[in-house]
Amino acid sequence: MSSYPTKREISRENLLQFNLYRLTIISVFFAFAIFLTNYFPKPSFDYIKIIIEYVIVSYFITILVVILLSRLNSRVTLFAHIQFFLDMLITEYLIYGTGSNNSPFTFLLLILILSVSYFSPYWINIFYAIFSGIIYILLLYLRNYQMGSVISPPMLIKIFYLFSSMLIFALLGSYIYEKFSKVEDKYIDKSKKLVELENLYKTVINKVSAGIIIVGSDFKIFFENSASKKITNGTLINKNILDIIPNFKFETVYRKELLITINKNNKFIGYSSTRVQIGEEEHLLLVFQDLTEVKNMEERIIEKEKMATIGEIVMNISHDLRNPLSSIKGSTELIAEEIRNKGIDNKKILKLINIVSRESDRVDNLLSSLLNFAKSLKIKKTEFILNQLITEIFEQIKNMKEFSNNKIKLILSNKEILFCGDKFWIGEVFSNLIKNSFEAIDKTTGEINIVITSNKDFIFIKIKDSGDGINEQDAENIFKPFFTNKRTGTGLGLSIVKKIILEHNGKISWLPQEKLFLISLPLEKC
C-alpha cells in the first residue's frame, strides 16, 4: 500500500518537489534579473555581481540539498528549516545589495514566506515573517547609516507595508494550507480505503477456484484471475474469445458445457456469463470451471458400468454354454476311443471328430476369455519397476513357440519408473499389446518402441511398433468387446486391457496421427 504524507509532515519526496519548484523560480528570477539590467541603463558592476552570486549560491544549495536528501534517513523537517533559514539570509543579502528599500527583488521575501507556509504551522510562519522583517529593517538601517542618512517617513510606510504583507502572507498561506490539508487528509483516507478495497478485491478474486475473465465489446479478453491462468496453463489477455469459443454470443448464459482448445490444450469447461457495466461500456463477465477430470471420471464410471453389465451377461452365458460344451467334447473323445479300440478304420469319421474336438477347445478358450473379461478384477497393489516388468514380458513372448524365430527388437526408455499397481494385471496389459505388435510387424526387421515419461501426478507410456498401425475405420471400435480383424481372435484382448487400465484409474487411447497407444496412469504411493 502506498504511503501518504499526513498533515504538516515534511517527507523527503515533498522536500525534493519543493526544490524542483525552487530551481524553476530561481531560473525565472535569473531571466527577470537579466531583463531588469537591460531595462535600467548602465547597471553597476556590484549590482550584477550580487545577482549572479545569489543565483550561484541558490543553485549550490539546491544541488547540495538533493544530494544530502538521497542519504538522509531522518530529521528531514529540521533539514528543511535549515534550508528555509539559509534561503531567507541569501534573499535578504540580495535585497540589501540591490538597493534595500528600492530593490526590485523585495517580492522574493513574500514568495519565501508563502513557501514556508506549505510545510509549517502558522506560528512558525509568523516567526519567519517577523524574523525576516527584523533582518530587513536592520539591513536597511545599516545601509542608511553607511550612507549617512536617516529613515524617512515614506520609507517607514514602505517598511510597514512590507512587514504587514509578510505577516498577511504567512497567515494567509497557513489558512489556505489548513484548508488544503483537511481536503488532502480526506483524500488520503479515501485513497487508503480504495487501496485496501482494491487489495481485498484482488485477494478474493485470485483466491476463487473458478476462472474469471472479462470480455470487452470487441470480444477481446482484458482481465483474468489466477485460477484462469492455472486452468488454461497460460494467459488469455488480449485474446479473442471467438478463437476459444466458436459461435460465442455476447449474452447472459446461466450454464453451458463444451469442449474447447486453450493454449494447445483440450479442456472440457462449464461456464456462465453475465453482462456488467464498467464505465460507459458494457462488458461480459465469464465464470468457468475445468470439468475435464470430472468428465473423464464420468466416462470411466459409465465404462465400468457398461463393462459390469456386459460381464454379468457374458458370465451367465459362459456358464450355460460350458456345461453342454464339456459334454460334447467328452462324448467325441469317447467315440474316437471306441472307434480306435474296435479297430474301425474310418479316417473321415476320425477327422470330423478331431474337428469337433479342436473347435470345442477353441470355444472353451473363448469362454475363458469371456470369463476373464466378465469377472471383477481383484487389484492387489505393490510397488515394482515398470521397465523391468516390460522387459520380462517381452522376453517371455519372444520365447513362445510361435514367435521363437523372430528377430524383433525392443527399444525401451532407460528411465526407471517405480509404479504402484497390480503387477499381474499390468503385466497382462503389456503382454496383450506386445503380442499384438509381434503379430503385426515384420519378423526380421520389426521394432517395438516403448517410451515412458512422467510428471508429479501421472505416468505416460507410448507404445509404437514398425507396423502399419490401425486404420481410421477400425480405430473407433478397437476397445469394444468382440471386435477383431484376426481370423482366430476373440476380440476381447484390448477390451480386457482397457478394463485393467480403468481399474487403475488410468486411460488408454489410440493416437492415429502418431500410430501409437498412449497409456496414462496415476502415480500413487502404495
Segment 172-221, tens digit of pLDDT = 877 777 777 788 788 888 888 888 887 777 787 878 888 888 888 888 98
pLDDT at position 519 is 93
| Pairing relationship of beta strands 409-412 and 447-454 according to DSSP bridges | parallel
| Pairing relationship of beta strands 211-215 and 221-224 according to DSSP bridges | antiparallel
CA atoms of 330 and 328, how far apart (whole Å): 5
CA atoms of 510 and 162, how far apart (whole Å): 97
Most confident residue range from 52-61, 68-77, 509-518: 509-518
pLDDT at 45 over 80: no
- Least confident segment among 190-204, 272-286, 314-328, 395-409: 314-328
Backbone angles phi, psi at 342, to 5 degrees: -90, 0
Tally: H helices and E strands in the chain? 14, 12
CA-to-CA separations, 181 to 77, 250, 374, in angstroms, rounded = 17, 47, 84
CA atoms of 331 and 360, how far apart (whole Å): 11
CA atoms of 129 and 125, how far apart (whole Å): 6
Band (518; pLDDT cuts 50, 70, 90): very high
- Single out the residue of 411, 493, 400 nearest to residue 452, CA to CA: 411
Residue 124 near residue 132 (C-beta atoms within 8 A): no
Answer with the residue of higher pLDDT: 497 or 317.
497
Mean pLDDT of 456-474: 85
> Where does 382-522 sit in CATH, by number?
3.30.565.10
CA-to-CA separations, 195 to 13, 124, 201, 439, 448, in angstroms, rounded = 20, 34, 10, 70, 62
pLDDT at position 477 is 79
Mean pLDDT of 124-130: 81
Q: Which residue has the cell 523372430?
A: 406
CA atoms of 351 and 230, how far apart (whole Å): 69
Total Cβ atoms within 10 A of residue 261? 10
Our measurement of the distance from residue 345's CA atom to the centroid of its chain's CA atoms, rounded to an integer in Å, reads 85
- Least confident segment among 80-94, 156-170, 384-398: 156-170
Q: Which residue has the cell 480403468?
A: 502
CA atoms of 214 and 236, how far apart (whole Å): 10
Across the chain, what does the average pLDDT equal? Answer: 78
Q: Which residue has the cell 485460477?
A: 227
pLDDT at 3 over 50: no
Percent of the chain with pLDDT over 90: 4
State whether residue 410 is helix, strand or coil: strand
pLDDT at position 382 is 92
Mean pLDDT of 220-241: 86
Q: Determine whether domain 295-374 maps to CATH 1.10.3470.
A: no
Answer with the residue of higher pLDDT: 187 or 488.
187
Is the Cα torsion angle 485, 488, 491, 493 positive or negative in sign?
A: negative
CA atoms of 370 and 22, how far apart (whole Å): 96
pLDDT at position 204 is 79
Percent of the chain with pLDDT over 70: 77
Residue 397 near residue 434 (C-beta atoms within 8 A): yes
pLDDT one-digit tens code per residue, 329-376: 676 777 767 666 666 556 666 676 676 776 676 676 666 666 666 666
What are the extents of the domains in the chain?
12-198, 211-290, 295-374, 382-522
Total Cβ atoms within 10 A of residue 374? 23
pLDDT at 323 over 70: no
Residues in a beta bridge with 507: 520
Cell readout for 386 is: 515398470
pLDDT at 6 over 60: no
Residue 407 near residue 511 (C-beta atoms within 8 A): no
- Single out the residue of 422, 10, 325, 412 nearest to residue 177, CA to CA: 10
Band (1; pLDDT cuts 50, 70, 90): very low
pLDDT at 288 over 70: yes
CATH number for 211-290: choose from 3.40.605.10, 3.75.10.10, 1.20.210.10, 3.30.450.20: 3.30.450.20
CA-to-CA separations, 475 to 469, 487, 511, 512, in angstroms, rounded = 9, 18, 9, 8
Band (413; pLDDT cuts 50, 70, 90): confident
pLDDT at position 426 is 92
Total Cβ atoms within 10 A of residue 148? 6
